Amino acid sequence: MKTLLKLTEVSKAYDANTGVLRGLNLETRAGESVAVVGASGCGKSTLLNLIGALDRPDAGRVEFDGEDVSSFNEKRLAAFRNDRIGFVFQLHHLLPQCTVLENALVPSLIKKTDGAQRRAMELLDRVGLSDRLDHRPGQLSGGERQRVAVVRALINQPSLLLADEPTGALNEEGADELMDLLLRLNREENLALIMVTHSPRLAGRLDRTLKLENGRLA
């Protein structure tokens, strides 16, 4: 499998004291699933933000599909984020006044993809929400909201899904169900998955587990 993502000697500091990431290296392949674990405050979210180009490293290179993302201008970065990367966070960040279907379609409004509505309906069906299309987020369970957030993240058919504690607000059963869904999509869509989790049990279900410690991955 070919390399999808390559981080080389990536460093990031928020203040003059100690850097959060210090010469970090990471290489992942297309379709691979990777768990990132580590103590609170060690830099896991910082790492995902750099991978997803929500933030830029102070030093080092982030390459995606062989291209140096750090060389992109703002416009190209925005398109890259919207087209190639899906994000799921601990909290779903759905728009409360919009329906399930409308929420799922948000990223496609920027890209103006053909067939987005059909894809949204199909994905919502696959995650078991076809009878909830017109519900608002406030009318859904926590697990259902996260499933809508996953569909929204996948609407533009990204190559990589970044998930920052996606099960953090769910109970054990909900967490397992969401994990089943993410792994199914990982297989069926050849979607690479990088997931931050505090749960060794969930991490164990992915291809590899990397521990972030002292600003580097082990």
Residues of the shown chain interacting with Mg ion in the complex, contacts defined by CB under 5 A: 45
Say which entry of ligand ATP, Mg ion, none residue 46 contacts (CB below 5 to 8 A, set by partner kind): ligand ATP
User: How many whole angstroms separate alpha carbon 79 and alpha carbon 166?
Assistant: 24
- Nearest Cα to 142, choosing from 105, 100, 97, 92? 92
Give exposure, 183-194, as e/b (b: 16+ Cβ within 10 Å).
Answer: bebbeeeebbbb
Structure tokens at 109: 């409004």
Residue spans of alpha helices (H) in the chain: 44-51, 74-84, 100-111, 116-126, 142-154, 172-188, 200-203
Work out how close the CB of 24 gets to ligand ATP at its nearest, in angstroms, rounded to a whole number. Answer: 12
- Least Å from the CB of residue 68 to ligand ATP: 23
Minimum CB separation of residue 144 from Mg ion in Å reads 23
Burial class (CB in 10 A: 0-12, 13-18, 19+), 210: buried
CB closer to ligand ATP out of 55 and 68: 55
CA 206 to chain centre: 14
Chain residues binding ligand ATP by CB under 6 A are 14, 20, 38, 40-46
Q: Which entry of Mg ion, ligand ATP, none binds 40, CB below 5 to 8 A by partner kind?
A: ligand ATP
For residue 180, which of 140, 150, 136, 152 has the smallest C-alpha distance? 150
State which residue, 45 or 108, has the beta carbon closest to Mg ion: 45
Question: Please, which residue, 16 or 115, has the CB nearer to ligand ATP?
Answer: 16
Task: Give the shortest CB-70-to-ligand ATP separation in angstroms.
Answer: 19
Write the DSSP symbol of residue 14.
S
Of the two residues 77 and 91, which places its CB atom closer to Mg ion in the complex? 91
Of 48 and 124, which CB lies nearer to Mg ion in the complex structure? Answer: 48
Q: What, of Mg ion, ligand ATP, none, does residue 107 touch, CB below 5 to 8 Å by kind?
A: none
As measured in angstroms, the least distance from the Cβ of 133 to ligand ATP is: 33
